[in-house]
């Protein structure tokens, strides 16, 4: 059995993505990497990261809300401007088109959340409909793995996770409300999972803000975020892994969870400093 590595929410930070990915392959060249979503937006190189993940067969790609937002915004742009499909744009043309259509719902939402760089890079590269289709097909909303490991971008209710996972396994379209809970919602990541053998692993919500929903969690400053692991009253285990790469350059860290087959309850956490890659390790135990 080979190791499984998980990291998430790199938000356009290509150097950190590459360093973390290369570190995983150095530990185990035949490992599986689960990327938890939000490769794009806010940073400059989200489109490049999405391409790199799509081209890597060892990475399982969980769809984040920023991938979902990009897919919808790109489809809106092309639906309103069909002559722009599958052709390269200059930087000026890309910016002009984005500004012209900034009133569209998903384009507007994308721009409000740092999506201009991603949309612009996609337009410059050729506004490929094949890329959008491939991204939508290649990203999963949920992932259920061995040893009770469950992955979604935002967490979510156990029963909703199971419904989405069953639909994806059968090749069906999941219920949209269930799917949006897995991708977008911040209200249910702390919901009970009534299976002591299950562990739900997610990103989306920076861990320093989780006390808004779980006041018993330890206080963390924004620049001191680390993964949070806790067991709920139903017996399920939750591991939150978004440690703030949205604000890279201010001392935040990108964390990687290493899932050993026989050592999962004491996973290693690989940390990358927000300013430069470092190789610090800490043992992080489920509390």
pLDDT digits (tens, 9 = 90+) for 230-287: 877 777 888 888 888 766 455 456 677 776 543 333 333 333 333 322 222 233 332 2
- Per-residue pLDDT of 51-61, as tens digits, reads 999 999 999 99
155-194 per-residue burial string, b: 16 or more CB within 10 A, e: under 16: bbbbebbebbbebbeeeeebeeebbbbbbbbbebbbbebe
Q: Do 20 and 79 fall within a single domain?
A: no
Q: Which residues contact 180 (CB under 8 A, 6 or more apart)?
A: none
Determine the structural domain holding residue 93 and report its residue range: 69-132
End of a domain among 89, 115, 132? 132
Domains in the chain, number: 2
Last-in-domain residue among 100, 132, 164: 132
Residues 159 and 227 in one domain: yes
pLDDT at residue 285, as a whole number: 30
Q: Is 216 found in the same domain as 109?
A: no
Model's pTM, two decimal places?
0.88
- Give the angle 59-255-234 at the CA atoms, nearest 5°: 90
What pLDDT does residue 35 have? 95
Strands (E), the chain: 4-7, 32-35, 59-62, 139-140, 142-144, 149-152, 199-202, 228-231, 237-240, 253-259, 268-273, 280-283
pLDDT of residue 259: 67
- Is the same domain home to 99 and 224? no
CA distance 155 to 37: 12
Q: What sign does the dihedral 184-54-33-144 (CA atoms) show? A: positive
Write the CATH number for 268. Answer: 3.60.21.10
The separation between the first and the last C-alpha atoms of the chain, rounded to the nearest angstrom, is: 26
Rounded mean pLDDT, 214-240? 80
Same domain, 89 and 168: no
Does residue 210 surpass a pLDDT of 80?
yes
More confident residue, 100 or 145: 100
DSSP helix, strand, coil percent of the chain (3-state; round to 5): 40, 15, 45
pLDDT category, 125, cuts 50, 70, 90? very high
pLDDT of 257: 75
Shared domain for 261 and 128, answered yes or no, is: no
Are both 202 and 270 inside the same structural domain?
Answer: yes
| Model confidence band, residue 180 (pLDDT cutoffs 50, 70, 90) | very high
Question: Looking at the structure, do residues 169 and 238 belong to the same domain, yes or no?
Answer: yes
Q: What is the mean pLDDT of the chain?
A: 84
**Is the same domain home to 40 and 75?**
no
Determine the pLDDT at residue 109.
96
What is the C-alpha to C-alpha distance for residues 153 and 183, in angstroms, rounded to an integer? 5
Q: 59 and 114 share a domain? A: no
Residues 211 and 233 in one domain: yes
Range from 8-17, 101-110, 114-123, 205-214 carrying the lowest mean pLDDT: 205-214
53 and 104, same domain (yes or no): no
6-10, 165-169, 234-238: lowest mean pLDDT where? 234-238
Out of 39-48, 101-110, 195-204, pick the least confident: 195-204
């Amino acid at each position: 059995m080979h190791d499984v590595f998980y990291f998430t929410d790199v938000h356009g930070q290509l150097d950190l993505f590459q360093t973390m990915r290369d570190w995983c392959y150095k530990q185990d060249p035949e490992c599986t990497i689960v990327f938890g979503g939000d490769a794009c937006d806010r940073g400059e190189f989200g489109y490049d990261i999405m391409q790199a993940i799509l081209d890597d067969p060892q990475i399982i790609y969980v769809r984040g809300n920023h991938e979902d937002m990009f897919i919808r915004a790109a489809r809106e742009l092309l639906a309103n401007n069909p002559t722009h499909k599958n052709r390269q744009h200059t930087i000026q043309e890309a910016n002009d088109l984005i500004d012209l259509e900034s009133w569209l719902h998903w384009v507007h939402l994308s721009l409000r959340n740092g999506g201009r760089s991603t949309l612009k890079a996609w337009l410059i590269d050729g506004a490929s409909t094949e890329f959008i289709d491939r991204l939508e097909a290649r990203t999963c909303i949920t992932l259920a793995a061995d040893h009770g490991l469950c992955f979604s971008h935002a967490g979510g209710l156990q029963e909703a996770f199971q419904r989405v996972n069953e639909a994806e396994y059968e090749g069906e379209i999941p219920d949209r409300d269930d799917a949006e809970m897995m991708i977008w919602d911040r209200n249910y990541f702390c919901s009970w999972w009534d299976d002591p053998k299950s562990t739900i692993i997610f990103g989306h919500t920076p861990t320093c803000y989780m006390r808004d929903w779980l006041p018993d969690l330890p206080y963390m400053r924004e620049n001191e975020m680390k993964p949070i692991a806790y067991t709920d009253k139903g017996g399920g285990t939750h591991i939150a892994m978004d440690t703030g790469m949205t604000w890279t350059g201010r001392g935040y860290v990108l964390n990687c969870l290493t899932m050993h087959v026989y050592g999962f309850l004491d996973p290693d956490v690989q940390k990358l400093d927000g300013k430069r890659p470092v190789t610090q390790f800490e043992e992080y135990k489920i509390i």
